[in-house]
Every structure is written in structure tokens, then in C-alpha cells.
Amino acid sequence: MHGAMMVPIILGSDKTTVSVATGQNDYYPLYLSIGNLHNNTRRAHCNSLVLIAFLAIPKSPYFSHKVAFIILIRSSTTTIADRENEDTAEFRKFRHQLFHTTLAYILSSLRRGMSKPEVQRCPDGHFRRAAYALAAYIADYPEQVLLSCLVQGWCAL
Amino acid sequence: MGHSHSCVRENHTILDGKSICSLVQHNLIFLATPTNKFGSDLPPGVGPTPRDVPHKDDWYPFTSRIEFETAEFLFTENQMPQGHVDRLMQLWTASMLHHNDRAPYSGHADLHCVIDAIPHGDVPWKSFQVHYSGNLPEPVAPSWMTKGYNIWFRDPNTVVKNLLSNPDFHGHFDYTPYREFEPTGQCRWENFMSGNWAWRHAVHFF
């Protein structure tokens, strides 16, 4: 890495800015910028923060009366409430996996440049060996929870 | 930690007519040494490799300046409806028949084709689909288990390459992590590269 140029990758997403909603599919934007840019430039220059993806928001488990009824008569030991919780836990797990799988896939093209610098042209016209590093992810609390594989709204007692 | 991997310089800035002195400590591991396009270090003092500037008569993928300006006017400025573009091109071609010539485009589809062929600018969008791959419960699986989720994205490697090569950012760009101190010893934080994360990441590599 000696002599290379560190390029910190900054990501950000915000579910509250959802603007595209078509039928069952909802999406929210993922943005990318680099830490080398001065803060005032990142705020002022329209090309410094780039929209790189629309992430999917899976809908909450759909538990129809019909399904609930079938489960109730099939299994006398499982109550609907139990079944719903189980379903929700599974759904939450899927939501985490969907998010992390998606991010890993989208960002996979940066992985190579994290261990072996890539020669890139810079703003001053010089070429440099650029070494990428995932630096920051700007997100609100629910998304921080999703990112760090934690749970929220849950108590062990 | 990190002092063996850094050098300290004085930095003078003028604020309200007063000269303010601060000490700037630069990281020497991520030194951002200029290289040639193959990644070999340039000797000190050698200027940057010139950018490939297109010839001023090269309007590719447009065949001429008229063709480019017509596209820019119709698509960007006027945002003319497709049917109107078709009609205009028919009239244009009719008026050119005397000169054995034709309009720059046969219609809106032709116009869009040429615009799509522009190699500069935005990174193209791609998509993939994600599915739940676990076992499906009997008798009826919830809909979230059976549907596919379409994800749209642009290659971040190309996005970063475009960010880095943008000459607009010249002068607004930090090539190395640094730490800035006021004469009192107080650390001064401003940009991302002046922060703890960038410095620690650079130092922890070794």
C-alpha cells in the first residue's frame, strides 16, 4: 500500500425518501461518495453524491385469514399467535439476509481494489494507485440496526 | 503511534487579514504518489499525463455539430413529444428534397438510438433478482417467500472511477489522510481525510 492513495467509500441510504412505489415492489435509494472530496464540495456539487442502487423493501408477512384458519385446524398444539411470531422472526431474518446479500453483490466490484490498488486518473490529472476502503454508512437508527445485524424493539425479560 | 509514518508541515491561512498558523501532519504510508498510467511512480516534478481530449470536430456518436445541436434542442431543451419529433423530421426531409438531402434523424426512435450511444456520462443501470431460498411451509407459503425482488444498481467501481477522474474536483480533494493542529495543540477537524477514521485506517495497515 506504500505510496497508494486511500479512497474511503461512503455509502448512505434513507428509507424515508422512498419515491418509487409500484404495486407490491417498494424501493429506496442507496448513494455513494468518496471521503477525499471536501465536505463543502460533497454538499454543493451535484456529481459528488451518486445514486448507485435502488434497494428492495420486502413487505411485512402477509397472513391471510384463510392461511390462519388452515393452520388452526391442522395443528392443535400451535396457536395462531405462536405461528405469527415464528413467521415474523423468519421474515425479519429474510429481510436482513436480503439487505446484506444485496449490498455484498452490488459492492463486489470494489473488493478487488481494497487489497490491490487500482491505477486511476485523479482530479489534478495525475494517475495514482487508488486503494478503496469501506469507510462510512450514513443511515438512520432502524437501518443501523439492519446493517449491524442487531434486533430492535425486543427485550430479553 | 503513527509518528514514524508521518511528516509535519506548517500551514498558513489568511483569515480576516490575519495570518493563522497551523501544523499539518501528513500520512506517509498512503502518500498518493503520482504514477504513469501503468502504475509506476513518476519521478518528482514530472507533470500529469495529458488527458485524451477529443478533437474539436469529433461529435461522435453524432455525425455533425448540426446533428448534436438538433438532438440537444429537441431532447434536452424543448423536450418535444415523440410524435412531434417525427412530424418535424418529415417536414425537414421534405424541405431538403430539393437539395438531395434529408433531416438529421428519420424520427424519434433514430434520435433516441444516437443519444443512447453516447459513451460519456452516467454509468449504465443493471439489475438482478433475489429470492427466498429456504423451505416453503405447508400448506400455503406467505407471499414474501415466493416472490422475487428486483434490485437495480450501477457498478460502483465505475462510479468511483468517474468521481476520481472528474477535473471539477481539482482543488477540492484530499489525496492523503492528515491531522491539523492549532498552535495551542488543539486538533482541527474539517474534511473526512482530517478525521480519526482515515488516520487510524492508514496507520493500522502496518
pLDDT recorded at residue A13: 87
Q: Best-predicted range by mean pLDDT among A41-50, B46-55, B119-128, B147-156?
A: B147-156
- Dump pLDDT digits (tens) for B12-23: 776 677 677 788
CA distance A122 to chain B (A): 5
Give the global pTM: 0.75
Domain residue ranges of chain B, discontinuous segments joined by +: 1-32+177-206, 57-120, 126-174
Contacts of A98 in chain B (CB under 8 A): 130, 149
Q: Which residue in this structure is represented by grid cell 424501493? A: A27
Q: Nearest CB to B177: which of A6, A55, A105?
A: A6
Q: Do B165 and A36 touch (CB under 8 A)?
A: no
Q: Which residue out of B140, B169, B200 would a mutagenesis test of the A interface target, given it has the greatest number of A Cβ atoms within 10 Å? A: B169
Residue A22 forms contact with B (CB below 8 Å)? no
Where b means 16+ CB within 10 Å and e means fewer, A19-31 reads eeeeeebbbbbbb
Local confidence pLDDT in tens for the 157 residues of chain A = 788 999 999 999 877 655 544 444 578 889 999 999 998 888 877 788 999 999 888 876 554 444 444 444 444 444 444 444 445 778 888 888 899 999 999 999 999 999 999 999 999 999 999 999 999 888 877 777 777 776 666 665 5
